[in-house]
Amino acid sequence: MTNKKCKRCGNTQFTEATDYMPVKPSKGSFKGANKIYTFCLDCGEVDSIRIENTTILKK
Write the DSSP symbol of residue 52: S
Per-residue pLDDT reduced to its tens digit, 7-54 = 999 999 999 999 999 999 998 988 899 999 999 999 999 999 999 999
Distances (CA, A) of 54 to 44, 45, 50: 26, 24, 9
pLDDT value, residue 57: 86
Instruction: Return the pLDDT at 52.
Output: 93
Evaluate whether 24 touches 31 at the Cβ level (below 8 Å). Answer: yes
How many whole angstroms separate alpha carbon 37 and alpha carbon 12?
Answer: 16
Residue-range domain boundaries for the chain: 14-57
Q: How confident is the model at residue 3 (pLDDT cuts 50, 70, 90)?
A: confident
